[in-house]
Structure 1
Amino acid sequence: MTLCYDSSGDGPALVLLHSAVCDRHMWAPQWPALRDAGYYVVWCDFRGFGDSPVADRPYRDAADVADLLDHLGLERVALVGSSHGGEVALEVAATRPEAVTAVALLCSAMPGHVPGPELRSFTERKNALLAAGNIAGAVELNVTTWLGPEASGEVREQVRQMCRHAVETHAAAKFASTAAPVDLARITAPCLAVSGAHDLADFREIAVGLPERIAGARHLELPWAGHLPSLERPAVVTDLLIRFLGETVPAG
Protein backbone atom coordinates (compact mmCIF):
# COMPACT_ATOMS: atom_id res chain seq x y z
CA MET A 1 0.00 0.00 0.00
CA THR A 2 1.43 3.39 -1.04
CA LEU A 3 0.00 5.48 1.79
CA CYS A 4 0.80 5.07 5.46
CA TYR A 5 -2.42 4.92 7.48
CA ASP A 6 -3.91 4.07 10.86
CA SER A 7 -7.34 2.68 11.60
CA SER A 8 -9.48 2.01 14.63
CA GLY A 9 -13.03 1.06 15.56
CA ASP A 10 -16.06 -0.65 14.08
CA GLY A 11 -19.08 0.62 12.21
CA PRO A 12 -19.55 2.77 9.11
CA ALA A 13 -16.25 3.72 7.49
CA LEU A 14 -14.89 7.25 7.89
CA VAL A 15 -11.66 8.48 6.26
CA LEU A 16 -9.87 11.62 7.51
CA LEU A 17 -7.78 13.55 4.97
CA HIS A 18 -5.23 16.07 6.23
CA SER A 19 -4.25 19.54 5.03
CA ALA A 20 -1.07 20.19 3.03
CA VAL A 21 0.39 22.01 6.04
CA CYS A 22 0.08 19.00 8.34
CA ASP A 23 -0.04 15.20 8.17
CA ARG A 24 -2.31 12.49 9.56
CA HIS A 25 -1.36 13.39 13.14
CA MET A 26 -3.50 16.52 12.88
CA TRP A 27 -6.47 14.23 13.55
CA ALA A 28 -5.22 13.10 16.97
CA PRO A 29 -7.88 15.21 18.76
CA GLN A 30 -10.72 13.78 16.62
CA TRP A 31 -10.23 10.13 15.78
CA PRO A 32 -10.72 8.62 19.27
CA ALA A 33 -14.04 10.42 19.74
CA LEU A 34 -15.19 9.48 16.22
CA ARG A 35 -14.26 5.85 16.90
CA ASP A 36 -16.10 5.93 20.22
CA ALA A 37 -19.13 7.40 18.43
CA GLY A 38 -19.36 4.15 16.47
CA TYR A 39 -17.26 4.61 13.32
CA TYR A 40 -14.43 2.66 11.73
CA VAL A 41 -11.97 5.52 11.38
CA VAL A 42 -9.04 5.61 8.92
CA TRP A 43 -6.53 8.45 8.79
CA CYS A 44 -3.69 8.48 6.28
CA ASP A 45 -0.66 10.45 5.10
CA PHE A 46 -0.54 11.68 1.52
CA ARG A 47 2.73 11.02 -0.34
CA GLY A 48 5.61 13.02 1.08
CA PHE A 49 3.76 13.78 4.32
CA GLY A 50 4.23 12.12 7.68
CA ASP A 51 5.34 8.53 7.10
CA SER A 52 4.30 8.12 3.46
CA PRO A 53 7.19 8.13 0.95
CA VAL A 54 7.57 10.62 -1.88
CA ALA A 55 6.49 9.56 -5.35
CA ASP A 56 8.81 8.12 -7.98
CA ARG A 57 6.35 8.85 -10.80
CA PRO A 58 3.44 11.24 -11.52
CA TYR A 59 0.48 10.67 -9.22
CA ARG A 60 -2.80 12.06 -7.84
CA ASP A 61 -3.64 12.12 -4.15
CA ALA A 62 -7.27 11.28 -4.95
CA ALA A 63 -6.19 8.18 -6.89
CA ASP A 64 -4.04 7.13 -3.93
CA VAL A 65 -7.01 7.51 -1.59
CA ALA A 66 -9.19 5.47 -3.97
CA ASP A 67 -6.51 2.76 -3.94
CA LEU A 68 -6.52 2.86 -0.13
CA LEU A 69 -10.29 2.36 -0.07
CA ASP A 70 -9.92 -0.64 -2.40
CA HIS A 71 -7.04 -2.02 -0.30
CA LEU A 72 -9.23 -1.86 2.82
CA GLY A 73 -12.27 -3.22 1.01
CA LEU A 74 -14.36 -0.15 1.81
CA GLU A 75 -17.29 0.02 -0.59
CA ARG A 76 -19.09 2.83 1.29
CA VAL A 77 -17.26 5.59 3.14
CA ALA A 78 -17.71 9.06 4.60
CA LEU A 79 -14.92 11.57 4.03
CA VAL A 80 -13.65 14.41 6.23
CA GLY A 81 -11.12 16.69 4.58
CA SER A 82 -9.13 19.68 5.82
CA SER A 83 -7.94 22.21 3.21
CA HIS A 84 -6.12 20.17 0.53
CA GLY A 85 -7.66 17.07 2.09
CA GLY A 86 -11.04 18.59 1.32
CA GLU A 87 -10.02 19.07 -2.31
CA VAL A 88 -9.05 15.39 -2.42
CA ALA A 89 -12.34 14.42 -0.79
CA LEU A 90 -14.27 16.37 -3.43
CA GLU A 91 -12.40 14.63 -6.24
CA VAL A 92 -13.04 11.19 -4.72
CA ALA A 93 -16.71 11.99 -4.12
CA ALA A 94 -17.15 13.23 -7.71
CA THR A 95 -15.41 10.26 -9.32
CA ARG A 96 -16.94 7.62 -6.99
CA PRO A 97 -20.33 9.10 -6.11
CA GLU A 98 -21.84 5.70 -5.38
CA ALA A 99 -19.17 4.97 -2.77
CA VAL A 100 -19.22 8.19 -0.72
CA THR A 101 -21.91 8.51 1.94
CA ALA A 102 -21.09 11.99 3.33
CA VAL A 103 -18.48 14.72 2.93
CA ALA A 104 -17.40 17.15 5.66
CA LEU A 105 -15.07 19.89 4.46
CA LEU A 106 -13.03 22.06 6.83
CA CYS A 107 -11.81 25.20 5.04
CA SER A 108 -11.51 23.17 1.87
CA ALA A 109 -9.61 23.84 -1.31
CA MET A 110 -11.43 22.97 -4.53
CA PRO A 111 -10.37 21.30 -7.78
CA GLY A 112 -9.94 23.91 -10.49
CA HIS A 113 -10.02 26.90 -8.13
CA VAL A 114 -8.20 29.94 -9.54
CA PRO A 115 -6.24 31.58 -6.68
CA GLY A 116 -7.27 35.05 -5.66
CA PRO A 117 -4.94 37.88 -4.58
CA GLU A 118 -4.47 36.68 -0.97
CA LEU A 119 -3.61 33.11 -1.91
CA ARG A 120 -1.36 34.21 -4.78
CA SER A 121 0.50 36.54 -2.43
CA PHE A 122 1.02 33.76 0.11
CA THR A 123 2.27 31.36 -2.56
CA GLU A 124 4.69 33.93 -4.00
CA ARG A 125 6.12 34.72 -0.57
CA LYS A 126 6.47 31.03 0.31
CA ASN A 127 8.15 30.19 -3.00
CA ALA A 128 10.58 33.09 -2.60
CA LEU A 129 11.59 31.83 0.84
CA LEU A 130 12.06 28.28 -0.45
CA ALA A 131 14.07 29.50 -3.45
CA ALA A 132 16.37 31.29 -1.02
CA GLY A 133 16.77 28.10 1.02
CA ASN A 134 14.95 29.64 3.98
CA ILE A 135 12.93 26.62 5.09
CA ALA A 136 12.46 28.00 8.60
CA GLY A 137 10.99 31.19 7.17
CA ALA A 138 8.62 29.23 4.91
CA VAL A 139 7.47 27.14 7.86
CA GLU A 140 6.79 30.21 9.99
CA LEU A 141 4.88 31.82 7.14
CA ASN A 142 2.66 28.73 7.00
CA VAL A 143 2.10 28.70 10.75
CA THR A 144 1.17 32.39 10.93
CA THR A 145 -1.01 32.24 7.79
CA TRP A 146 -2.99 29.10 8.48
CA LEU A 147 -3.66 29.17 12.22
CA GLY A 148 -6.30 31.49 13.63
CA PRO A 149 -5.94 33.77 16.64
CA GLU A 150 -7.22 31.19 19.12
CA ALA A 151 -4.58 28.54 18.33
CA SER A 152 -2.47 27.76 21.40
CA GLY A 153 1.31 27.78 21.50
CA GLU A 154 1.27 23.99 21.75
CA VAL A 155 -0.84 23.70 18.59
CA ARG A 156 1.40 26.16 16.76
CA GLU A 157 4.42 24.02 17.64
CA GLN A 158 2.65 20.84 16.47
CA VAL A 159 1.81 22.46 13.14
CA ARG A 160 5.36 23.83 12.90
CA GLN A 161 6.83 20.32 13.24
CA MET A 162 4.43 18.72 10.76
CA CYS A 163 4.92 21.55 8.28
CA ARG A 164 8.71 21.47 8.54
CA HIS A 165 8.77 17.76 7.69
CA ALA A 166 6.47 18.31 4.71
CA VAL A 167 8.41 21.31 3.41
CA GLU A 168 11.77 19.57 3.73
CA THR A 169 10.46 16.39 2.09
CA HIS A 170 8.79 18.14 -0.84
CA ALA A 171 11.75 20.42 -1.42
CA ALA A 172 13.71 17.34 -2.51
CA ALA A 173 10.82 15.55 -4.28
CA LYS A 174 10.68 15.19 -8.05
CA PHE A 175 6.89 14.91 -8.35
CA ALA A 176 3.91 16.68 -6.79
CA SER A 177 0.28 15.58 -6.84
CA THR A 178 -1.88 16.69 -9.73
CA ALA A 179 -5.67 17.03 -9.70
CA ALA A 180 -7.98 15.75 -12.42
CA PRO A 181 -10.81 17.92 -13.78
CA VAL A 182 -13.97 16.94 -11.90
CA ASP A 183 -17.67 17.69 -12.16
CA LEU A 184 -18.76 18.51 -8.60
CA ALA A 185 -22.40 18.18 -9.69
CA ARG A 186 -21.81 14.41 -9.75
CA ILE A 187 -21.51 14.38 -5.96
CA THR A 188 -24.66 12.89 -4.43
CA ALA A 189 -23.54 12.63 -0.80
CA PRO A 190 -24.65 15.14 1.84
CA CYS A 191 -21.95 17.79 2.17
CA LEU A 192 -21.08 20.23 4.95
CA ALA A 193 -18.72 23.03 3.89
CA VAL A 194 -17.16 24.78 6.90
CA SER A 195 -15.29 28.07 6.63
CA GLY A 196 -13.35 30.16 9.15
CA ALA A 197 -13.95 33.89 9.50
CA HIS A 198 -10.19 34.48 9.96
CA ASP A 199 -9.18 32.38 6.93
CA LEU A 200 -8.01 33.67 3.54
CA ALA A 201 -10.79 34.91 1.27
CA ASP A 202 -10.22 32.06 -1.20
CA PHE A 203 -11.32 29.37 1.22
CA ARG A 204 -14.25 31.33 2.59
CA GLU A 205 -15.49 31.92 -0.96
CA ILE A 206 -15.09 28.24 -1.86
CA ALA A 207 -17.19 27.17 1.14
CA VAL A 208 -19.90 29.75 0.43
CA GLY A 209 -20.09 28.68 -3.23
CA LEU A 210 -20.16 24.90 -2.81
CA PRO A 211 -23.94 24.70 -2.15
CA GLU A 212 -24.42 26.16 -5.64
CA ARG A 213 -22.27 23.39 -7.11
CA ILE A 214 -23.36 20.38 -5.03
CA ALA A 215 -27.01 19.50 -4.52
CA GLY A 216 -27.84 19.26 -0.84
CA ALA A 217 -24.60 20.89 0.35
CA ARG A 218 -24.75 23.46 3.13
CA HIS A 219 -22.32 26.04 4.43
CA LEU A 220 -21.37 26.88 8.01
CA GLU A 221 -18.97 29.66 9.01
CA LEU A 222 -17.12 29.52 12.34
CA PRO A 223 -16.63 33.12 13.51
CA TRP A 224 -13.60 32.25 15.66
CA ALA A 225 -11.71 30.03 13.20
CA GLY A 226 -8.71 30.42 10.95
CA HIS A 227 -7.80 27.78 8.37
CA LEU A 228 -7.34 24.79 10.70
CA PRO A 229 -10.35 24.81 13.05
CA SER A 230 -9.99 21.13 14.02
CA LEU A 231 -6.73 22.09 15.74
CA GLU A 232 -7.79 25.53 16.97
CA ARG A 233 -10.89 24.33 18.86
CA PRO A 234 -10.70 20.51 18.66
CA ALA A 235 -13.68 19.68 20.89
CA VAL A 236 -16.00 22.07 19.06
CA VAL A 237 -15.10 20.62 15.66
CA THR A 238 -15.31 17.04 16.94
CA ASP A 239 -18.86 17.67 18.18
CA LEU A 240 -19.74 19.34 14.87
CA LEU A 241 -18.50 16.32 12.91
CA ILE A 242 -20.30 13.83 15.15
CA ARG A 243 -23.56 15.75 14.76
CA PHE A 244 -23.23 15.96 10.96
CA LEU A 245 -22.30 12.30 10.63
CA GLY A 246 -25.11 11.31 12.98
CA GLU A 247 -27.58 13.04 10.66
CA THR A 248 -26.16 11.51 7.47
CA VAL A 249 -24.32 8.27 8.36
CA PRO A 250 -25.72 7.09 11.70
CA ALA A 251 -23.50 4.65 13.58
CA GLY A 252 -25.01 1.42 14.84
Structure 2
Amino acid sequence: MTLAHWVVGEGPAMLLVHAGVADARMWTREVAELSKDHRVITLDLRGYGETPLEPGAKYSDAGDVLAVLDELGVDTVKAVGASYGGYVVQQVASRHPERFTRLVLICAPTDGVEPDDALRAGWAEEERLLEAGDVDGATDLNVRNFLGPEADDETRELLRTMQKRAFELQLPAGDVDNEEWPVEPEKIGAPVRLITGAHDFRFFADSATYLAERLPNAERIDLPWAGHLPTLERPGDALGLIR
Protein backbone atom coordinates (compact mmCIF):
# COMPACT_ATOMS: atom_id res chain seq x y z
CA MET A 1 0.00 0.00 0.00
CA THR A 2 1.23 3.50 -0.83
CA LEU A 3 0.61 6.10 1.83
CA ALA A 4 -0.97 9.41 0.87
CA HIS A 5 2.05 11.66 0.46
CA TRP A 6 3.07 15.01 -0.97
CA VAL A 7 6.31 16.39 -2.42
CA VAL A 8 6.95 20.13 -2.66
CA GLY A 9 10.05 22.03 -3.74
CA GLU A 10 13.51 21.19 -5.05
CA GLY A 11 16.79 20.53 -3.29
CA PRO A 12 18.00 18.11 -0.62
CA ALA A 13 15.24 15.77 0.53
CA MET A 14 13.55 16.44 3.87
CA LEU A 15 10.96 14.06 5.32
CA LEU A 16 8.40 15.27 7.89
CA VAL A 17 6.52 12.57 9.84
CA HIS A 18 3.51 13.63 11.88
CA ALA A 19 2.56 12.99 15.50
CA GLY A 20 0.14 10.27 16.58
CA VAL A 21 -2.56 12.82 17.38
CA ALA A 22 -2.16 14.64 14.06
CA ASP A 23 -1.51 14.11 10.35
CA ALA A 24 0.47 15.79 7.57
CA ARG A 25 -1.51 19.01 8.01
CA MET A 26 0.52 19.77 11.14
CA TRP A 27 3.44 20.72 8.86
CA THR A 28 1.60 23.08 6.49
CA ARG A 29 3.30 26.26 7.65
CA GLU A 30 6.75 24.69 7.70
CA VAL A 31 6.39 23.20 4.20
CA ALA A 32 5.76 26.63 2.69
CA GLU A 33 9.15 27.85 3.93
CA LEU A 34 11.24 24.68 3.80
CA SER A 35 10.25 23.96 0.19
CA LYS A 36 12.10 27.10 -0.94
CA ASP A 37 15.37 25.18 -0.67
CA HIS A 38 14.39 21.55 0.04
CA ARG A 39 12.42 18.77 -1.58
CA VAL A 40 9.94 18.39 1.27
CA ILE A 41 8.08 15.10 1.70
CA THR A 42 5.06 14.80 3.98
CA LEU A 43 2.79 11.81 4.40
CA ASP A 44 -0.17 10.41 6.29
CA LEU A 45 0.52 7.15 8.08
CA ARG A 46 -2.19 4.48 7.91
CA GLY A 47 -5.25 5.56 9.83
CA TYR A 48 -4.48 9.27 9.57
CA GLY A 49 -5.60 12.08 7.28
CA GLU A 50 -6.02 10.73 3.75
CA THR A 51 -4.60 7.24 4.29
CA PRO A 52 -7.19 4.58 5.20
CA LEU A 53 -6.73 1.71 7.63
CA GLU A 54 -8.26 -1.59 6.62
CA PRO A 55 -9.91 -3.76 9.33
CA GLY A 56 -7.45 -6.36 10.59
CA ALA A 57 -4.61 -4.85 8.55
CA LYS A 58 -1.11 -6.29 8.94
CA TYR A 59 1.58 -3.74 8.17
CA SER A 60 4.51 -1.70 9.48
CA ASP A 61 4.53 2.10 9.72
CA ALA A 62 8.31 2.02 9.42
CA GLY A 63 8.08 -0.21 6.35
CA ASP A 64 5.48 2.09 4.82
CA VAL A 65 7.71 5.13 5.28
CA LEU A 66 10.66 3.32 3.73
CA ALA A 67 8.46 2.31 0.79
CA VAL A 68 7.52 5.95 0.16
CA LEU A 69 11.19 6.96 0.10
CA ASP A 70 11.94 4.12 -2.31
CA GLU A 71 9.02 5.03 -4.55
CA LEU A 72 10.24 8.62 -4.74
CA GLY A 73 13.82 7.53 -5.45
CA VAL A 74 15.17 9.17 -2.29
CA ASP A 75 18.49 7.60 -1.36
CA THR A 76 19.37 9.93 1.53
CA VAL A 77 17.16 12.22 3.54
CA LYS A 78 17.01 14.52 6.52
CA ALA A 79 14.05 13.41 8.66
CA VAL A 80 11.96 15.28 11.20
CA GLY A 81 9.58 13.26 13.36
CA ALA A 82 7.12 14.58 15.93
CA SER A 83 6.08 12.32 18.81
CA TYR A 84 5.04 8.94 17.37
CA GLY A 85 6.39 10.07 14.00
CA GLY A 86 9.76 10.44 15.68
CA TYR A 87 9.50 6.86 16.92
CA VAL A 88 8.80 5.64 13.39
CA VAL A 89 11.80 7.59 12.10
CA GLN A 90 14.01 5.94 14.74
CA GLN A 91 12.86 2.53 13.56
CA VAL A 92 13.73 3.21 9.93
CA ALA A 93 17.05 4.89 10.78
CA SER A 94 18.06 1.97 13.01
CA ARG A 95 17.59 -0.47 10.14
CA HIS A 96 18.95 1.79 7.37
CA PRO A 97 21.23 4.37 9.02
CA GLU A 98 23.07 5.04 5.75
CA ARG A 99 19.95 6.69 4.32
CA PHE A 100 19.71 9.47 6.90
CA THR A 101 21.87 12.59 6.91
CA ARG A 102 20.26 14.14 10.02
CA LEU A 103 17.36 13.48 12.38
CA VAL A 104 15.25 15.89 14.40
CA LEU A 105 13.14 14.09 17.00
CA ILE A 106 10.48 16.25 18.62
CA CYS A 107 9.10 14.94 21.92
CA ALA A 108 9.54 11.42 20.60
CA PRO A 109 9.16 8.16 22.54
CA THR A 110 11.65 5.35 22.21
CA ASP A 111 12.19 1.74 23.21
CA GLY A 112 13.43 0.90 26.70
CA VAL A 113 11.68 3.73 28.59
CA GLU A 114 8.58 3.25 30.75
CA PRO A 115 5.65 5.72 30.50
CA ASP A 116 5.08 7.89 33.56
CA ASP A 117 1.91 7.63 35.67
CA ALA A 118 0.36 10.82 34.27
CA LEU A 119 0.65 9.59 30.69
CA ARG A 120 -0.76 6.18 31.63
CA ALA A 121 -3.70 7.95 33.29
CA GLY A 122 -4.31 9.95 30.12
CA TRP A 123 -4.33 6.80 28.00
CA ALA A 124 -6.75 5.14 30.42
CA GLU A 125 -9.12 8.10 30.28
CA GLU A 126 -8.96 8.15 26.48
CA GLU A 127 -9.83 4.44 26.39
CA ARG A 128 -12.71 4.95 28.82
CA LEU A 129 -14.19 7.75 26.70
CA LEU A 130 -13.84 5.81 23.46
CA GLU A 131 -15.41 2.69 24.95
CA ALA A 132 -18.32 4.89 26.03
CA GLY A 133 -18.65 6.15 22.45
CA ASP A 134 -17.58 9.67 23.39
CA VAL A 135 -15.23 10.43 20.49
CA ASP A 136 -15.59 14.17 20.99
CA GLY A 137 -14.62 13.80 24.63
CA ALA A 138 -11.55 11.73 23.78
CA THR A 139 -10.59 14.24 21.11
CA ASP A 140 -10.87 17.18 23.51
CA LEU A 141 -8.87 15.26 26.12
CA ASN A 142 -5.96 14.81 23.74
CA VAL A 143 -6.06 18.44 22.65
CA ARG A 144 -5.75 19.45 26.30
CA ASN A 145 -3.04 16.89 27.06
CA PHE A 146 -0.82 17.39 24.02
CA LEU A 147 -0.80 21.14 23.44
CA GLY A 148 1.09 23.49 25.72
CA PRO A 149 0.01 26.92 26.98
CA GLU A 150 1.40 28.77 23.94
CA ALA A 151 -1.09 27.20 21.50
CA ASP A 152 -3.78 29.54 20.19
CA ASP A 153 -7.42 28.72 19.41
CA GLU A 154 -6.71 28.13 15.71
CA THR A 155 -4.04 25.58 16.57
CA ARG A 156 -6.29 23.81 19.05
CA GLU A 157 -9.02 23.57 16.43
CA LEU A 158 -6.58 22.16 13.88
CA LEU A 159 -5.39 19.49 16.30
CA ARG A 160 -9.00 18.69 17.19
CA THR A 161 -9.77 18.19 13.48
CA MET A 162 -6.73 15.95 12.90
CA GLN A 163 -7.27 13.83 16.02
CA LYS A 164 -10.96 13.33 15.31
CA ARG A 165 -10.15 12.25 11.77
CA ALA A 166 -7.71 9.67 13.14
CA PHE A 167 -10.38 8.25 15.43
CA GLU A 168 -12.84 8.10 12.51
CA LEU A 169 -10.38 5.98 10.52
CA GLN A 170 -8.93 3.85 13.31
CA LEU A 171 -11.93 2.89 15.43
CA PRO A 172 -13.82 1.00 12.66
CA ALA A 173 -10.63 -0.92 11.82
CA GLY A 174 -10.55 -2.62 15.23
CA ASP A 175 -7.45 -4.62 16.12
CA VAL A 176 -4.63 -4.35 13.59
CA ASP A 177 -1.10 -5.77 13.48
CA ASN A 178 1.42 -2.93 13.16
CA GLU A 179 4.92 -4.44 13.27
CA GLU A 180 7.39 -2.21 15.08
CA TRP A 181 11.03 -2.48 14.05
CA PRO A 182 13.55 -2.40 16.93
CA VAL A 183 15.12 0.96 17.76
CA GLU A 184 18.91 0.69 18.08
CA PRO A 185 20.28 4.18 18.82
CA GLU A 186 23.91 3.07 18.71
CA LYS A 187 23.53 2.31 14.99
CA ILE A 188 22.33 5.81 14.07
CA GLY A 189 25.49 7.72 13.19
CA ALA A 190 23.89 10.85 11.70
CA PRO A 191 23.56 13.99 13.85
CA VAL A 192 20.36 13.87 15.91
CA ARG A 193 18.63 16.84 17.53
CA LEU A 194 16.42 15.87 20.48
CA ILE A 195 13.74 18.42 21.33
CA THR A 196 11.59 18.30 24.49
CA GLY A 197 9.06 20.59 26.15
CA ALA A 198 8.86 21.52 29.82
CA HIS A 199 5.05 21.24 29.79
CA ASP A 200 5.04 17.77 28.24
CA PHE A 201 4.66 14.41 29.98
CA ARG A 202 7.85 13.28 31.75
CA PHE A 203 8.04 10.15 29.60
CA PHE A 204 9.13 12.11 26.56
CA ALA A 205 11.92 13.90 28.42
CA ASP A 206 13.01 10.54 29.83
CA SER A 207 13.06 9.15 26.29
CA ALA A 208 15.27 12.00 25.09
CA THR A 209 17.65 11.44 28.01
CA TYR A 210 17.83 7.74 27.20
CA LEU A 211 18.56 8.46 23.54
CA ALA A 212 21.13 11.18 24.31
CA GLU A 213 23.13 8.65 26.33
CA ARG A 214 23.20 6.16 23.45
CA LEU A 215 23.25 8.08 20.18
CA PRO A 216 26.77 8.67 18.82
CA ASN A 217 26.03 12.27 17.77
CA ALA A 218 23.17 13.85 19.74
CA GLU A 219 22.17 17.41 20.60
CA ARG A 220 19.52 18.08 23.25
CA ILE A 221 17.23 21.15 23.29
CA ASP A 222 14.74 21.65 26.14
CA LEU A 223 12.07 24.28 25.52
CA PRO A 224 10.76 25.90 28.73
CA TRP A 225 7.62 27.20 27.00
CA ALA A 226 6.63 24.05 25.08
CA GLY A 227 4.22 21.21 25.54
CA HIS A 228 4.20 18.12 23.35
CA LEU A 229 3.87 19.76 19.92
CA PRO A 230 6.14 22.82 19.88
CA THR A 231 6.08 23.29 16.11
CA LEU A 232 2.31 23.80 16.35
CA GLU A 233 2.46 25.82 19.55
CA ARG A 234 4.98 28.38 18.26
CA PRO A 235 5.05 28.06 14.46
CA GLY A 236 7.33 31.09 14.21
CA ASP A 237 10.05 29.22 16.08
CA ALA A 238 9.56 25.95 14.22
CA LEU A 239 11.96 26.56 11.34
CA GLY A 240 14.81 27.33 13.69
CA LEU A 241 14.13 24.07 15.52
CA ILE A 242 13.94 21.73 12.54
CA ARG A 243 16.22 23.19 9.86
TM range (shorter): over 0.9
1:218 Cα deviation after fit: 1.3
| Amino acid aligned to 1:220 | I
Contact 1:29 1:231 in 2 (8 A): no
Partner residue of 2:221? 220
Contact 1:118 1:202 in 2 (8 A): no
1:172 Cα deviation after fit: 0.8
How far, CA to CA, are the matches of 1:211 and 1:190 in structure 2? 11
Aligned positions of 1:224-239 closer than 5 A: 224-239=225-240
| Amino acid aligned to 2:211 | L
5+ unaligned residues in a row in structure 1: which ranges?
243-252
1:15 Cα deviation after fit: 0.5
Q: TM-score, normalised by structure 2?
A: 0.96
Contact 1:81 1:89 in 2 (8 A): yes
Partner residue of 1:101? 101
1:209 Cα deviation after fit: 2.4
1:111 Cα deviation after fit: 3.4
Aligned positions of 1:177-216 closer than 5 A: 177-216=178-217
Q: TM-score, normalised by structure 1?
A: 0.92
Structure 1 runs (4+) deviating above 6 angstroms are none
Partner residue of 1:85? 85
Deviations 1:115-141 (A, max 9, x none): 221221111111111111110110010
| Amino acid aligned to 2:39 | Y
* Greater Cα shift, 233-242 or 12-21: 233-242
Mapped pair 1:41 → 2:76:
no
SS at 1:46's partner residue? coil
Aligned positions of 1:157-172 closer than 5 A: 157-172=157-172
**RMSD after superposition:** 1.2
5+ unaligned residues in a row in structure 2: which ranges?
none
How far, CA to CA, are the matches of 1:149 and 1:164 in structure 2? 21
How far, CA to CA, are the matches of 1:228 and 1:55 in structure 2? 28
How far, CA to CA, are the matches of 1:3 and 1:113 in structure 2? 29
Aligned positions of 1:40-189 closer than 5 A: 40-55=39-54, 57-174=57-174, 175=176, 177-189=178-190
* Greater Cα shift, 75-84 or 168-177: 168-177
How far, CA to CA, are the matches of 2:228 and 2:178 in structure 1? 21
